[in-house]
Chain A
Amino acid sequence: MTDLLKVDSRTMLLLRLSTIWRWLFALLTIGGATALWTGGLPISALWQKILLTVVLVTAAIASGIAAVLIGRCDHRGRMISLVLDYLAFAACFVLTLNAGEVFIGIDALGGTFGHGVPYLGIVLLGYLLGTLEDYLPKKHTPEQSLKAVSRWVMVGGLVLFLWQVDAVQGLIYVIGKIARPAGLASVAGMLVFGLSLWAMWREPTATAMNVKTHHEQVLNGWLFLSPNLLGFLIFFAGPLLLSFYFSFTDSDAFNPPNWIGFANYAKILNIRLALLNSPTQLAREVIDVKIYDEVGRLVVGNFGILFAAADKFFWIALRNTLTFALLAVPMSVIPALVLSNVLNSKLPGMKFFRAVYFMPSIAAVVGISLVWQWLYNATIGYINYFITLGIEFWNNLFHIAIVDPKIQWVSDEKTALLAVIIIAAWQTMGFNTVLFLAGLQNVPGELYEAATVDGAGPWDKFWRITLPMLAPTTFYVVTTTTIQAMQVFEQVFILMNPPEGPNNSTITLVLYLYRSGFQNFKQGYASAIAWVLFIVIFGLTLIQFQRQRKSSIYES
């Protein structure tokens, strides 16, 4: 315990004020939580009430504990107080920005940014001027004056840029918006929490609270971590939990959701198998068509099994997604493995080809899909055009009569999914090639030298050295590609019109959840689909992990 007599009076006063502040903060948060349930705050959604109540009550308890500990000069009180004030300060800061409509303003900047772009050129010109010193004789004065000119040109360019993008007008607008009750309250909150932070952060207070170096290190560590951590909690973990909650509701995104328990999951998983007396027997004769729809039938001879589901689109989407993954993963991994071995050689020009194969991975999916849409066009697309040319060439050369298939790449249910798979595989292959290349460069050369001495040929070296040594890379590539494949969306959404494709042949799980949530007003149901998809992906990844452990040479 610190000898309180050694603490200066100012610190003593700040500690007492901090204790009072902590109690006051606890009372305010409890008051806020009470107001939530008594109609004092305009929040009607149950999930929002529960979430806010948990946050406020936790803050109240933490603040009360901190008040007690600060009174005892326990360093933990300081730490809790700092964390609470820091979070509250950050919240007030965001609220202030929101009150000033800064987030909308950032969008608006997109519209005016173009006007200012030429003036950024002046900034660049200033920079270029500064670099001219390299070409000047080493005289002190001219060099310095050129630097000064360069600096002023850059500053001038920046000012002109800000002027052109209406930054001044924007600033006035923001200030005007903040100068309203909600904005002013946020600013006041920032000031109060900022002051409390300062009072606890200052060194005399830390000394008075018996703070040791490692306590400070822990605090600093969390402080540096906090931007990322807060971002994770707010933009990832929060929505994740929220979607889990929504999956138990009938949320349409517009009105307060109602709790419906497992109804969404029950509908997704409600399936029925029925025996068919004949292959063509109508579904309504064996299932209740008011509940179920036929998904497919397995016919053997004169008998068959009908598979029906309450939500047939989910099962069709699941089938399509699994088919997609089953084909797209090998099509993007095996060629990548072969290609990486070729590109790993020291032939001239390999760097160029490495870049070429990587390009599709960095190109925008929307652009790529639109280009492929054009290529796939059955009537005037280049793919069919070249197929026709090729067939005509062979027919003329050998006097044969091969029929031009005129493939309807995206409008035939037999080829539509394949068309999407080709694009996805083509786009992913380059990235996988780079990963394999990195893996190949970690394979010790001595192994190949020893194999050569033992008389191994290229195939043996590849099969017995390269492949086993690439196992960790292969595992990573296969796992990430599978996860990516299970989430296929953009290519289908852009390429196909309608995205579901002919007879639902390209409807995938993510597309279906998007359609359910954003087009059919079923956010709750879409959330349930998302969680089922998560379980499917998690299960597949788990299987891959287990197989990796069993087969990896590194494990043994």
Chain B
Amino acid sequence: MKHNLFWKVISLLVITSFVLVACGTPATEAPAATEAPTKAPATEAPAMTEAPAAGDVALRWRTRPDNQEEINVYSEISNELDGQLDGISLTYEPGGTEGANYQDQLRAEVAAGTAPDVFWIPGTDVADFATRGLILNVSDLATKTEGFDVKAFYSGPMYHLTYNPDTDKTGADSGALWGLPRDVSTFALYLNMDLINEAGAPDPRELAKQGKWDWNAFLEVAQKTRALGSDIYGYGASAWWGPNGVWINAAGGSFFNADRTACALNTPEALKGLDFQRSLYADYDVAVPYGEDPEPPFRAGKVAMFQNGRWATPGVRTVTFNWDVVELPNGPSGTPGNWLFWGAYVINAKTEHPEEAWKLVQALTTAQTQGKVAALGANIPSRVSQEALDAFLTFTPPANNQAFLNGIADSAKPTAEGPVWAGSWPEFDKIVGPAIQAVLTGGTTIDDFGATICDEANKVFTK
């Protein structure tokens, strides 16, 4: 009897919770924009919940969202384009799940033949996907498309997206077009102005305006803020190739030689940049230890300058201290050595509807669509359009949005993130990443790094 009573109480509790769930729906109900993703989960069959109109071509597309807000915007865009594109029915699939990151999941689906018709990949992956025949060369379709011009997008991404590995040519007439860039981004330094003011350090934004924002000025700010306390850091950056490359580029070095067919990390310029980065961790001790995620301490108000891309803006907007952004400091080469990050919408080589997929890719990269995504604050439109850039400046905070645009301006000579057509980027990164980490954490010296790194890294180049 006691046992029965127990189960009955449990049942009552469960029923109560069900009723609460049912009653709670209106309170938690999201507006139309947020409703869509819950009804169209990542792996949902195209027609299970929303059958395409008779005769419509059903297309699935996917891009990597960073948060639920982005999922909502992409779902809304998908619904709008669904109405605009005649004869095409769209299903948006947010990519990535806990424990299975976006690229790994996508590759597994490509291998299994279940990947969407159109999907987003990072710029560094384009060569691997293209040379293995996994994505469609839409050059012929683009040629037939009235008004299409590759020059409408930033030249850096288009250099790689029009690269023809058979002829080594690039550009509008190369005979290759692997997709269109979804957006671009670049690094900036997110500033904790409260810490900087408290330390009595000069305002980096003012220094940048005066043209005095260089490595020395950066170091001065970092050291002054670091002196505020043992748990306060002057600078923080995540451990991946992006932040490492900035210092190398700014010193006049590069990961690769000019035609990207060999490693160039052993040049004096590259080593000088890496040595300065090392000194931030070892000699001056101003940086959040390399390998530790700097975002939590920055958001906790313990880091003065946090290097990250535009994608970090939505998260930083939640902090309570006074913050802004500034462009990266100029290095010995006279430029900040920044990256122009990008990713592209590409078409699955196995799609049954290449023409419709191409229409979708174009629709996803119009100024209007990009504006909607950029309004969230995480991206910069990939179209070279003053209108789009002017609109971007209004997406505040941060007040100094111009810092991001300065980072991708031609005058700053940003290096476009790009694939390695003559080898394998993942393999290169696998070798170089830990080796740089060893330098920055004191496991090896700059000299030893310079003496051995290209012996190892050059093995990944096939040409």
* A290 near B300: Cβ-Cβ < 8 Å: no
Query: How far is it, in angstroms, between the C-alpha of A517 and the C-alpha of B101 when the chains are bound?
Result: 15
* B40 near A111: Cβ-Cβ < 8 Å: yes
Interface presence of A476 (CB below 8 A): no
Interface presence of B438 (CB below 8 A): yes
Point out the residues of chain A lying under 8 angstroms from B2, CB to CB.
none
Listed by A's residue number, 29 A-B pairs whose Cβ atoms lie within 8 Å are: A104-B45, A111-B40, A111-B49, A121-B19, A124-B18, A131-B8, A169-B48, A284-B452, A289-B452, A290-B455, A293-B456, A293-B459, A377-B293, A379-B233, A379-B292, A379-B302, A380-B296, A380-B300, A380-B302, A404-B230, A408-B291, A410-B292, A411-B239, A413-B438, A413-B441, A497-B238, A498-B240, A503-B434, A519-B103
Point out the residues of chain A lying under 8 angstroms from B48, CB to CB.
104-105, 108, 166, 169-170, 173
Interface presence of A358 (CB below 8 A): no
Point out the residues of chain B lying under 8 angstroms from A182, CB to CB.
none
User: CB-defined interface of B427-463 with A at 8 Å, one 1/0 digit per residue?
Assistant: 1001001110110010110000001100110010000
Query: How far is it, in angstroms, between the C-alpha of A294 and the C-alpha of B455 when the chains are bound?
Result: 10
* B452 near A107: Cβ-Cβ < 8 Å: no
* B18 near A379: Cβ-Cβ < 8 Å: no
Across the A-B interface, the 6 shortest Cβ-Cβ residue pairs: A411-B291, A121-B18, A111-B41, A118-B22, A107-B43, A253-B111
Q: Nearest Cβ distance between residue A306 and chain B, in whole angstroms?
A: 12
Query: How far is it, in angstroms, between the C-alpha of A40 and the C-alpha of B41 when the chains are bound?
Result: 38
Interface presence of B288 (CB below 8 A): yes
> If the complex has contacts A282-B452, A411-B289, A497-B293, are A503 and B441 also in contact, measured as CB distance less than 8 A?
yes
New A-B contacts (9) at CB < 8 Å, excluding given A254-B133, A283-B452, A503-B444 = A117-B21, A169-B48, A284-B455, A379-B233, A413-B438, A493-B99, A502-B434, A502-B438, A502-B443
Point out the residues of chain B lying under 8 angstroms from A134, CB to CB.
1, 4
Interface presence of B15 (CB below 8 A): yes
Interface presence of B144 (CB below 8 A): no
Point out the residues of chain A lying under 8 angstroms from B111, CB to CB.
253-254, 523
Q: Nearest Cβ distance between residue B302 and chain A, in whole angstroms?
A: 7
CB-nearest residue of chain A to B435: A503
Q: Nearest Cβ distance between residue A299 and chain B, in whole angstroms?
A: 14
Interface presence of B391 (CB below 8 A): no
Query: How far is it, in angstroms, between the C-alpha of A78 and the C-alpha of B233 when the chains are bound?
Result: 80
Interface presence of B242 (CB below 8 A): no
User: CB-defined interface of B24-60 with A at 8 Å, one 1/0 digit per residue?
Assistant: 0000000000000011110111011101000000000
Interface presence of A143 (CB below 8 A): no
Point out the residues of chain B lying under 8 angstroms from A503, CB to CB.
434-435, 437-438, 441, 443-444
Point out the residues of chain B lying under 8 angstroms from A117, CB to CB.
18, 21
* B452 near A124: Cβ-Cβ < 8 Å: no
Point out the residues of chain A lying under 8 angstroms from B239, CB to CB.
411, 497-498
Interface presence of B424 (CB below 8 A): yes
* B289 near A379: Cβ-Cβ < 8 Å: yes
Point out the residues of chain B lying under 8 angstroms from A104, CB to CB.
43-45, 48
Q: Which of B70-122 contact A (CB under 8 A)?
A: 98-99, 103-104, 107-108, 110-111
* A118 near B426: Cβ-Cβ < 8 Å: no
* B11 near A173: Cβ-Cβ < 8 Å: no
Query: How far is it, in angstroms, between the C-alpha of A289 and the C-alpha of B456 when the chains are bound?
Result: 7
Name which of B111, B239, B240 has the most chain A CB atoms within 10 A of its CB.
B111
* B44 near A111: Cβ-Cβ < 8 Å: yes
CB-nearest residue of chain A to B299: A380
Query: How far is it, in angstroms, between the C-alpha of A118 and the C-alpha of B18 when the chains are bound?
Result: 5
Query: How far is it, in angstroms, between the C-alpha of A108 and the C-alpha of B238 when the chains are bound?
Result: 36
Interface presence of A42 (CB below 8 A): no
User: CB-defined interface of A479-521 with B at 8 Å, one 1/0 digit per residue?
Assistant: 0000000000010011001101111100000000001001111
Secondary structure class of chain A's binding surface, majority of residues:
helix
Assign chain A's interface to a size class.
35 or more
Interface presence of A128 (CB below 8 A): yes
Name which of A166, A252, A404, A502 has the most chain B CB atoms within 10 A of its CB.
A502
Query: How far is it, in angstroms, between the C-alpha of A410 and the C-alpha of B289 when the chains are bound?
Result: 10
Q: Which of A251-265 contact B (CB under 8 A)?
A: 252-255
Interface presence of B399 (CB below 8 A): no
Point out the residues of chain B lying under 8 angstroms from A118, CB to CB.
18-19, 21-22
* B21 near A379: Cβ-Cβ < 8 Å: no
Q: Nearest Cβ distance between residue B443 and chain A, in whole angstroms?
A: 5
Interface presence of A286 (CB below 8 A): no
Query: How far is it, in angstroms, between the C-alpha of A518 and the C-alpha of B39 when the chains are bound?
Result: 30
Interface presence of A412 (CB below 8 A): yes
CB-nearest residue of chain A to B303: A379
Interface presence of B227 (CB below 8 A): no
* A124 near B49: Cβ-Cβ < 8 Å: no
Query: How far is it, in angstroms, between the C-alpha of A293 and the C-alpha of B90 when the chains are bound?
Result: 49
Q: Nearest Cβ distance between residue A384 and chain B, in whole angstroms?
A: 10
* B44 near A519: Cβ-Cβ < 8 Å: no
Query: How far is it, in angstroms, between the C-alpha of A110 and the C-alpha of B40 when the chains are bound?
Result: 10
Name which of A111, A173, A493, A523 has the most chain B CB atoms within 10 A of its CB.
A111
Interface presence of B12 (CB below 8 A): yes
* B452 near A294: Cβ-Cβ < 8 Å: yes
User: CB-defined interface of B135-146 with A at 8 Å, one 1/0 digit per residue?
Assistant: 000000000000
CB-nearest residue of chain B to A132: B8
Interface presence of B259 (CB below 8 A): no
User: CB-defined interface of A102-133 with B at 8 Å, one 1/0 digit per residue?
Assistant: 00110110111010011011001101100100
CB-nearest residue of chain A to B110: A254
Interface presence of B209 (CB below 8 A): no
> If the complex has contacts A111-B38, A497-B293, are A518 and B21 also in contact, measured as CB distance less than 8 A?
no
Point out the residues of chain A lying under 8 angstroms from B426, CB to CB.
519-521
* B99 near A366: Cβ-Cβ < 8 Å: yes
> If the complex has contacts A104-B45, A503-B443, are A128 and B8 also in contact, measured as CB distance less than 8 A?
yes
